[in-house]
Amino acid sequence: MGLLSLGTPLDWHESRKHNEHVRKNGIIQLINIFKQHSESRTDDKFLWGDEVEYMLVDVNPNAKTARLSIDKDYILNDLNDPKKSLHKSEENNISFHPEYGRFMLEGTPASPYDGTCLKDYAYVEQNMILRRKVSESELPAHIKPLTLTAFPRMGCPNFTSPPAQPIGPASQSLFLPDEIINRHVRFPTLTANIRKRRGAKVAINLPMYPDINTKLIDDSIPKDRDLFLSDKEPWLGASKPGHVYMDSMGFGMGSSCLQITMQAKDINEARYLYDSLAPITPIMLSLSAASPIFKGYLVNQDVRWNVVSGAVDDRTFIERDVEPYTGYDLFGGMHVDKRQRLPNNTQYVNEFGDWCDLKTKDGKPIQKVPKSRYDSIDNYLNDHKYSTAYFKDEYNDIYAPLNEKVYHHLSKENPKLFDKYLANHFAHLFIRDPLVLFSERINQDNATENDHFENIQSTNWQTLRFKPPALYPEGTDLSKTPGWRVEFRPMEIQLTDFENAAYSCFLSLLSKAIIRFKPNFYIPISKIEKNMKLAHNVDSVLEEKFWFKSLDQWNLNHREFIGYDLSWFDRFLNKGNDELGFDEVYVNGYSLNGALVNGESEDDLAALNGSLNGNGHPNGFYRGRRRTIDAVNDIDDQGIDERYTVNEIINGNDKFPGLIRLIVKVIATDLLPTGSHHCENKELAKNLTRIKNYLVLISNRASGKIPTTAHWMREYVLNSPLYKRDSKVSEALNYALVEKTIDITDFKDKELLTAFFGETLTQYLTSN
């Protein structure tokens, strides 16, 4: 969560008068941050942490209902109250934070993990288990903290417990009551201010999953409500035929995700890590897909990302470059002289993205803004000051408007601290207005406070966040404070602590491997953009091919990664035989091309080496259901980027390592106790086995051997006797589905677990 100031939040029409003040002082604060930390921090440790978001669900087996619980949010206060349950958090090294929804809870480790220490990677899951246990201990037995990405029936009649009416003034939603919003004044104000700035309610339209009885019309939209002027918006063009229509911030910000933050050694390493992770963002969105149902409808996509993006989209009509609804203002709630109009024949935007001479009353140019403030990143940061220096200007190839004033302030006045790429990055974030301002916090001491900077920074919700350190009073020992960090934000939350730990470890270990082996992952950012769209598609993990740096252009020698596939764990753990004999053949029979995987079944073998069988797919879980994808990889003009299956990118092939081999090698070379050649230490063996199984999960999902959460959920609905083939998820079906997700979360039902995790993992999970 970003800052949570106490005080009196200003209504949009008051707050907007301070937009330039916040930006101006925010930039001064940013410059002070850079002055304090850019050069002084040179060797921070690789620390990292995760954030897990929970939904409190009231499960009633008698009534067969599962509803979002909106009156148990007191547990968040209790878990932070020294007189109540704070001790439980402290004793367990966990920390709970507020989130957008009153039904939500965010849990993190209280102190970050040590990324140089193998056992911390295995501890992550323990920490997650404790978070769930502690929050459960504060709740009645029928309220479960679940890690569902999107609550299937959010926005349907009676989806809350206790029931509440969707008649709230903050969101004016036709579907979501204001009672779902966190009680802290920041959140309803945020909701209302987004709507007021935009000049209309947000409008999200997701394509319905077309089934034989589906009526391609969202019949849940009330036709005759006359409570707010905005009630007519669906009939003015906000709702699209064939789509599920959603009209409120809560549909997006009320979903849950998994975020990972890593600390780099210095600012330059952080820039390289940020850039290297950018092409990974859509791949991990696709691999973590977990949300095929919204507002009681099966939809024709698998992830939440565009829902959140639309849910906080505060851009006005003119910024989006669309016609306003009839009777609505082109400028929305911007502070403008309403006599200004777009000239008819000179509709141009300049190099910064500014519309002609149009300005708000405080002199800020009005711009054409192609993306919501919640969206994928628009610019690389450039690694030219790092040892890699792979970046080329042509990689920043999408139109991303800039705040010209901020750009010049940073790059002209402080070129030493802000090269043009950093200036570009922050000038792009600073095209946005602050959304919530507290009257008590308007005036700040720019030498020691950084709330104005954070105000803009933390409401740019992008796939990655470049997190500079905070400002500290002179004399502070900076080595004990957080440094330059990169946050990875696209992943959907998974049902079990095991999976969330697996995705967290995969990402942090991958980051460690990136820093260690320094691959070149740069592709034009426009291709990442395309990948983000592909990642939304149903079963994209198997159905789509994603743009990625050609596998032979990573600037890595694949031969150096031979042997570091998943079989490395077995060789290291069981045989004490991790050395190459003659002809680069391992003594236990593992050979150069990775053809033999010790300890894996035939099935696993097929999955893990799936890329060897032609189209990059093994004959896994989806056999017979997939449409065929092109056997030949698309390639760009220069052969620098190609399109690959997620399987190829994750599991590699005989010519190229794949991300998992990078991870295995970093474990083998950097994380083992020095001098260990084989594993005699029981704790080390146990931890390595756990980590291996995390990688097996990711590997098997990438290869299609086991389903994504989204695939499993969709199949569950499609095969349920309660489903009427009309794309609708009734209250009874929602209950049945939630019940199954609880069984998975609690590892209860072996048959179910086998369908979800496959045999090998289920065997491991139920016996460990």
Q: How far is the CB of 604 from ligand ADP (least distance, A)?
A: 32
Q: Which does 112 bind (CB under 5 to 8 A by kind): Mg ion, ligand ADP, none?
A: ligand ADP
Q: How far is the CB of 294 from ligand ADP (least distance, A)?
A: 24
Stretch that binds Mg ion, among 44-52, 399-407, 532-540, 547-555 (CB under 5 A): 44-52
Q: How far is the CB of 610 from ligand ADP (least distance, A)?
A: 33
Q: Which does 539 bind (CB under 5 to 8 A by kind): ligand ADP, Mg ion, none?
A: none
Contact between 492 and Mg ion by CB under 5 A: the answer reads: no
Contact between 47 and ligand ADP by CB under 6 A: the answer reads: yes
Query: Do 206 and 125 form a contact (C-beta atoms < 8 A)?
Result: no
Contact between 454 and Mg ion by CB under 5 A: the answer reads: no
Q: Burial, 761: exposed, middle or buried (Cβ in 10 Å; 0-12, 13-18, 19+)?
A: buried
Contact between 316 and ligand ADP by CB under 6 A: the answer reads: no
Q: How far is the CB of 107 from Mg ion (least distance, A)?
A: 9
Measure Cα distances from 609 to 288, 540, 647 in Å.
21, 19, 9
Measure Cα distances from 449 to 295, 426, 585 in Å.
41, 18, 59
Q: How far is the CB of 257 from Mg ion (least distance, A)?
A: 7
Q: Which does 166 bind (CB under 5 to 8 A by kind): ligand ADP, Mg ion, none?
A: none
Number of other residues whose CB lies within 10 A of the CB of residue 14 = 11
Q: Burial, 722: exposed, middle or buried (Cβ in 10 Å; 0-12, 13-18, 19+)?
A: middle
Looking at the chain, how many residues does it have?
768
The rounded distance, in Å, linking the Cα atoms of 369 and 319 is: 5
Contact between 89 and ligand ADP by CB under 6 A: the answer reads: no
Matching residue, tokens 């095969």: 719
Total of residues contacting ligand ADP (CB under 6 A): 18
Matching residue, tokens 């820093």: 515
Number of other residues whose CB lies within 10 A of the CB of residue 111 = 11
The rounded distance, in Å, linking the Cα atoms of 326 and 17 is: 27
Of the candidate residues 36, 65, 108, 300, the single one contacting ligand ADP (CB under 6 A) = 108
Site string for Mg ion, 87-106 (x = CB under 5 A): -------------------x
Query: Do 764 and 693 form a contact (C-beta atoms < 8 A)?
Result: yes
Matching residue, tokens 């989130």: 99
Q: Please give the angle made by the CA atoms of 459, 463 and 465, to the nearest 5 degrees.
A: 60
Restricting to residues 628-687, name those near Mg ion by CB under 5 A.
none
Measure Cα distances from 611 to 23, 468, 473, 592 in Å.
50, 40, 54, 16
Q: How far is the CB of 538 from Mg ion (least distance, A)?
A: 26
Residue 603: which H helix or E strand, with range?
Answer: helix 602-608
Query: Do 274 and 486 form a contact (C-beta atoms < 8 A)?
Result: yes
Site string for Mg ion, 105-134 (x = CB under 5 A): -x----------------------------
Contact between 540 and Mg ion by CB under 5 A: the answer reads: no
Site string for Mg ion, 47-76 (x = CB under 5 A): ----x-------------------------
Site string for ligand ADP, 1-30 (x = CB under 6 A): xx----------------------------
Contact between 101 and ligand ADP by CB under 6 A: the answer reads: no
Contact between 49 and ligand ADP by CB under 6 A: the answer reads: yes
Number of other residues whose CB lies within 10 A of the CB of residue 428 = 21
Q: Which does 109 bind (CB under 5 to 8 A by kind): ligand ADP, Mg ion, none?
A: ligand ADP
Site string for ligand ADP, 205-244 (x = CB under 6 A): ----------------------------------------
Q: What is the DSSP string of 410-424?
A: HHHH-TTT--HHHHH
Contact between 1 and Mg ion by CB under 5 A: the answer reads: yes
Q: How far is the CB of 446 from ligand ADP (least distance, A)?
A: 21
Restricting to residues 563-592, name those near ligand ADP by CB under 6 A.
none
Number of other residues whose CB lies within 10 A of the CB of residue 475 = 5
What are the helix and strand counts (H, E) for the chain? 26, 20
Contact between 500 and Mg ion by CB under 5 A: the answer reads: no
Of the candidate residues 5, 38, 256, 259, the single one contacting Mg ion (CB under 5 A) = 259
Q: Which residue lies nearer to ligand ADP by CB, 46 or 756?
A: 46
Contact between 635 and ligand ADP by CB under 6 A: the answer reads: no
Q: Burial, 109: exposed, middle or buried (Cβ in 10 Å; 0-12, 13-18, 19+)?
A: buried
Q: Which residue lies nearer to Mg ion by CB, 372 or 520?
A: 372
The rounded distance, in Å, linking the Cα atoms of 6 and 164 is: 27
Restricting to residues 239-278, name those near ligand ADP by CB under 6 A.
259, 261-263
What's the distance, CA 18 to chain centroid?
A: 31
Q: 398: helix, coil or strand?
A: coil
Of the candidate residues 50, 73, 269, 648, the single one contacting ligand ADP (CB under 6 A) = 50
Contact between 98 and ligand ADP by CB under 6 A: the answer reads: no
Bridge partner list, 641: 549
Site string for ligand ADP, 466-505 (x = CB under 6 A): ----------------x--x-x------------------
What letters, b where the CB count within 10 A reaches 16 and e where it falls short, cover 128-158? bebbbebbeebbeeebbbbbbbbbbbbbbee
Stretch that binds Mg ion, among 213-221, 258-266, 334-342, 581-589 (CB under 5 A): 258-266
Of the candidate residues 97, 232, 518, 575, the single one contacting ligand ADP (CB under 6 A) = 97
* Residue numbers at the binding site for ligand ADP (CB under 6 A): 1-2, 47-51, 97, 108-109, 112, 259, 261-263, 482, 485, 487
* Residue numbers at the binding site for Mg ion (CB under 5 A): 1, 51, 106, 259
